[in-house]
């Protein structure tokens, strides 16, 4: 029986994954916000790639309870980390069997899988290196050539199984480069270290010389992972492996994308995932006695910008360095 992929969180990444699966013959259902879903129902989902724009009439809903979770469904959880608990409860309330329904976490951060395991027995980590831009309701961009992006997939906390292999195979057919990875969380933690820079790009709008500040941000992250006893793939080896596997980003003329936090600030999103990226480093630092001033400044500055409705570029790297220095 073909697996139906229920993409819970049909934003920039989720909608594109669902669209690529649908256009290559895999049953799919998008679960997303009202404006996006209504537009998809009216006119189809427009998936913009560098070489072609697909208009795909992918089934979509605002409420998974409308259709319920069916036997054989696979849940691809694509919400931001701050929305994970709500999404998981809604999936369970829609009839998902906690003992059998697979939950794949296609999310930044390193805490989603553990939270999913509280409610569901079969949880999978997905290291996702896929460019995506939410352009407007009903329209998403996957700006990459060569493939649609790169993923590692494995069971949480370790291992692979038949569901892993079937999902890997389906995503490869959908145009992604995908690897079954028995220690996927090591790859996700390496990706997490890279994602710690998302907030920096959102704060500065990519301006200024940020490399020295970013090195300190990531050093703090590594120190915290080590203190917590959490193993991670060597970042240089991880980046080299991603570069060998992933296609080449090809943004449209005039299009910018400085990461998911930047996109969220640009469109005035209701919440941000920074507390589960830089904030997770701060949390681990507090638990294990590791100083994390650079990550704390990024977390606090993004929160201040979000609360005031600021767009990217309000502060410079020099401002951030001053904030760190003032902490003593």
Query: Which of 74-83, 194-203, 257-266, 288-297 bottoms out in mean pLDDT, i.e. has the lowest?
Result: 257-266
What's the pLDDT score for residue 253?
Answer: 87
Answer CATH for 4-182 from 3.90.1490.10, 3.40.50.720, 3.40.190.10, 3.30.420.480: 3.40.50.720
Does residue 72 have a pLDDT over 70?
yes
pLDDT at 1: 64
pLDDT for the residue numbered 328: 74
Mean per-residue pLDDT over the chain, rounded:
96
17-57 pLDDT per residue, tens: 999 999 999 999 999 999 999 999 999 999 999 999 999 99
Q: Where are any strands of DSSP class E within the chain?
A: 4-8, 28-31, 45-48, 53-56, 60-61, 73-77, 103-105, 123-129, 133-136, 139-141, 144-145, 150-155, 177-180, 248-249
CA-based Rg of the chain, rounded to a whole angstrom? 19
Tokens found for residue 212: 């020295």
Architecture of domain 188-326: Orthogonal Bundle (1.10)
Q: Is the pLDDT of residue 114 over 70?
A: yes
- Interstrand relation of 60-61 and 28-31 (parallel, antiparallel or unpaired): parallel
pLDDT band at 2 (very low <50, low <70, confident <90, very high): confident
- Domain extent listing, the chain: 4-182, 188-326
**Burial call 166-190: b when 16+ CB within 10 Å, e when fewer:** ebbebbeebbbbbbbbebbbbbbbb
pLDDT tens figures, 195-232: 999 999 999 999 999 999 999 999 999 999 999 999 99
Residue 62 has pLDDT above 80, yes or no: yes
The number of beta carbons lying within 10 Å of the beta carbon of residue 51 is 6
- CA–CA distance, 97 with 122 (Å, rounded to integer): 10
């Amino acid at each position: 029986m073909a697996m139906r992929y229920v993409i819970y969180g049909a934003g920039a990444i989720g909608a594109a994954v669902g669209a690529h699966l649908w256009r290559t013959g895999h049953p799919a259902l998008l679960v997303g916000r009202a404006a996006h879903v209504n537009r998809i129902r009216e006119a189809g989902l427009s998936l913009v790639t560098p070489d072609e724009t697909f208009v795909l009439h992918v089934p979509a809903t605002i409420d998974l309870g409308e259709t319920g979770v069916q036997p054989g469904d696979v849940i691809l959880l694509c919400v931001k980390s701050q929305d994970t608990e709500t999404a998981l409860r809604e999936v369970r309330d829609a009839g998902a069997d906690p003992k059998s329904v697979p939950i794949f976490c296609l999310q930044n951060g390193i805490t989603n899988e553990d939270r999913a395991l509280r409610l569901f027995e079969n949880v999978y980590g997905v290291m996702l290196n896929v460019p995506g831009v939410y352009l407007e309701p009903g329209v998403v961009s996957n700006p990459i050539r060569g493939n649609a992006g790169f993923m590692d997939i494995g069971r949480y906390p370790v291992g692979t199984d038949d569901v892993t292999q079937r999902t890997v195979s389906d995503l490869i057919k959908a145009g992604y480069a995908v690897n079954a990875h028995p220690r996927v969380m090591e790859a996700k933690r390496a990706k997490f270290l890279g994602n710690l820079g998302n907030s920096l790009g959102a704060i500065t709008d990519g301006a200024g010389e940020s490399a020295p500040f970013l090195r300190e941000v990531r050093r703090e992250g590594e120190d915290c992972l080590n203190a917590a006893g959490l193993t991670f793939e060597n970042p240089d080896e991880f980046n080299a492996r991603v570069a060998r596997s992933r296609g080449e980003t090809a943004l449209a003329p005039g299009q910018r994308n400085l990461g998911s936090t930047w996109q969220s600030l640009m469109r005035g999103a209701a919440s941000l995932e920074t507390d589960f990226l830089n904030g997770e480093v701060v949390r681990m630092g507090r638990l294990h006695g590791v100083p994390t001033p650079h990550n704390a400044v990024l977390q606090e500055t993004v929160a201040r910008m979000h609360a005031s409705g600021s767009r990217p570029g309000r502060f410079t790297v020099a401002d951030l360095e001053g904030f760190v220095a003032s902490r003593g």
